[in-house]
Chains A and B, each alone.
Chain A
Amino acid sequence: MPVLTYREAIRHALAEELERDSSVVVLGEEVGQFNGAYKVTEGLLAKFGPKRIVDTPISEAGFIGLGVGASMLGIRPVMELMFWSFYSVAFDQILNNAANVRYMSGGLINCPIVIRGPANGGTNVGATHSHTPENVLANHPGVKVVVPSTAADAKGLLKSAIRDNDPVFFLENTLLYGEKGEVPEGEHVVPLGLADVKRAGTDLTIVTYGRSVLHSLAAAEILQRDHGASVEVVDLRTIRPLDLDTVLASVAKTHRVLIVEEQKPFASVGSQLAYMIQREAFDELDAPIHRLATVDAPAIYSPPVEVEQLPNPSRVLKAALEALA
């Protein structure tokens, strides 16, 4: 199986979908001539030309809104936000317009837009550029939210996202762009809303997504080696729709849950998960549901300290041992 970086996997998905469907357009800041702020769209302008690969001004509210409007008329725009942190300047377009237009029109209008870009901390860019808004986004019925952790998932999920008739928000991670992984050749589509058991285990379920999957797998390895604990790692991959069944099946096996998320704790994705798990698997639980989140403060700049603010293998390990106690 070919090994691709996460970045290349996304690029391949874009290229294949651009090839497949002439209504697909890539728009965003510096996606064309500059080849992408994080080189995700590198080479696409040369291949598909300026009609399909469109450089936008620094104007998130304007161009995201434009994409939403175009999608109402059947275009399938794939909008790049240089950072998902900039969602706040386009909030009205993303979460009033894209999320609501179908409902407010009584189902008459669809909005098949994809908005994608990185949403993560850990790169010492400070509080304004380190937001992880998946909980905020997923709080809005009408939208879909995807957070892939591996190259294969990134490709397969992005292809599904582009083909989806509802607005899909696709949250990548600058620290994953260079991560390599095997990606199946040919048509590789991963359905939205399907979790993936990235590691099987019997003593503890770690429910996680995004880059935290990697930290959780690293911690699981240590737990197995040093503590003899067998940890199952469930990668949600999609936040909404949510594959709760896979989570519940794992809980029924391990009876202990640790949620790991790169989210501020208050009303996070994990908060919702914890609610649902206790609601639907109360009698399977042998311990309270534990959760490891980002330390509750704006993203700190200081490079070595930011590592400790976010989930990392040693923080996951500690939290897992508490959950196993």
Chain B
Amino acid sequence: MAQIIDMPKLSDTMTVGTLVKWLKQEGEPVKSGDMLAEVETDKATMELECFFDGTLLRQFAPAGSQVAIGSPLCAIGNPGEKVETPAAVPVPAPKPAAPLPVAAPTPPPAPRPVAPTPVAPALVPVSAPAPAAVSSARVRISPLARRLAAEKGVDYSRVTGSGPGGRIVRADIAAAAAKPAAPAAPAAAPAKSASPKGGADAWPWRSVFDPAPIQPESTAALSNMRTTIARRLVESKTTIPHFYLEIEVDAAPLGALRAQLNAGLGQDGVRLSVNDFILKASAAALRAVPGVNASWDAAGIKFHGAVHVSFAVAIEDGLITPVIRETDQKSVVQISTEAKDLGKRAKEKKLTPAEYTGGTFCVSNLGMMGIARFSAIINPPNAAILAVGATVRKPVVQDDQIVIGERMSLTLSCDHRVVDGALGARFLNALKDHLEHPALLLV
């Protein structure tokens, strides 16, 4: 008797999974512990483990399809064994408008008139929007939102929740009430963007236009992190003679290359950021101008043999600078992967001290937050820190013509005890060269 493998529940909030690709094909022998397929949940892509020995007899779901939890994925049994297509887990159908017939003699089962019986197994092409019915039929709504909906006459069944797990919360009802009554939409409203830049339904406390009164006066206790940041930065700004060099970089080639690479690498789940290139380019520039890869020390100027570029990550109540070791030895993709992991764990406060100490140079990037240019405070014992601004479209002179260019401003804060103006300038030019010829960073 063949074993039918169903779509497992792989996360707490998962209701359907996408079968990304099959790792075993029909007719292939499989054994317990083998990975059968990759399944993407609402949280992650995970491998589907096989718990049986035998042969993969049938695949019921093609790669790319969405399958509800409990619906069959494949069958495993003896070679040649015949497999019946199992019935799919019925997708909850909307209640028929007409009352169900209650005739005493049960008629032979007829196809249900309203909901078309899905061809088993129930598969939904990935391109189609997930049917609302797959998720819980019960509307998740906070008690307050339910009460407000009743007061304002809002039909909350038509409101999309923006709270955790799609819960309809006060703001959703307020937004719905503010909108003119929409014609009865045939389908549920499209899923709301997760972006915090919401419109009317954004959280009131997130709004910069919030007319709430000035905050009450109070004093916040200092966290250990805050204390450390304060001590180190005061020490830096008061003992290190800072000076600043600024250079503008043509960011168009980098943008084009990045777009191209991301289009190609996207299928592998890789997405390179501007910062990944800057980290790589900084490492390359430090190799070219090693005088910047140094530290002031009472005993003398210490020139570092290896390039360890750190980058600032904003976290809950401060910031931290995880380090990518041997940055110059790593590819942009490696750097990207490592930076993502470090950044994620930094936000979770799960970095080990070894992961945020020992950097020889630091990059601080506020470009993604729309800051055009800024100067940073040196992170001791580094001799310099690079402040990266946003890529800005602006008029530039090119071949005596004013054209639209893409420019990025880089500001280097230097410790004058270690780095003189000319040295810093050489470094920035090296950096500019690399960033304007980004393909070189890939070789």
Contacts and interface: CB of A to CB of B under 8 A. Distances in A.
A222 interface: yes
Interface string B204-235: 11111010100110111111110000000000
Contact of A287 (B142, B206, B223): B142
B94 interface: no
Contact of B220 (A221, A283, A286): A221
Contacts of A224: 215
Q: Which of A215, A217, A287 has the most B CB atoms < 10 Å from its CB? A: A287
B170 A217 contact: no
B203 interface: yes
Contacts of B207: 228
Given A214-B221, A222-B317, A229-B205, A325 B143 contact: no
Nearest to A197: B216
A240 to B, nearest CB: 27
Contact of A324 (B167, B205, B216, B219): B205
A228 B220 contact: no
Contact of A222 (B163, B205, B220): B220
B220 A217 contact: yes
A218 interface: yes
A286 B170 contact: yes
A313 B226 CA distance: 11
B205 A283 contact: no
Contacts of B281: none
A155 B223 CA distance: 28
Interface stretch (B144-152, B382-390, B400-408, B411-419): B144-152
Interface residues of A, number: 34
Contacts of B219: 217-218, 221
Nearest to B315: A314
A255 B170 contact: yes
B164 to A, nearest CB: 6
Nearest to A217: B218
B317 A283 contact: no
A139 interface: no
A324 to B, nearest CB: 7
The contact size tier of chain B is: 20 to 34
A199 B143 contact: no
A228 B196 CA distance: 13
Contact of A284 (B143, B208, B316, B349): B143
A95 interface: no
Contact of B317 (A214, A215, A317, A324): A317
B216 A199 contact: yes
B169 interface: yes
A314 B316 contact: yes
A244 B205 CA distance: 25
Given A217-B218, A220-B218, A202 B212 contact: yes
Contacts of B147: 283
Interface string A225-256: 01111100000000000000000000000010
Given A230-B215, A284-B143, A325-B163, A314 B205 contact: no
B215 A313 contact: no
A282 interface: yes
A196 B150 CA distance: 33
A180 B346 CA distance: 35
Contacts of A218: 219-223
B145 A286 contact: yes
Interface of B: 142-147, 163-164, 167, 169-170, 203-208, 210, 212, 215-216, 218-225, 316-317, 349
Given A228-B210, A313-B317, 19 more contacts: A202-B204, A215-B221, A218-B220, A220-B220, A228-B205, A229-B206, A230-B205, A230-B215, A283-B143, A284-B144, A286-B145, A286-B163, A287-B163, A287-B164, A287-B169, A314-B316, A314-B317, A325-B163, A325-B164
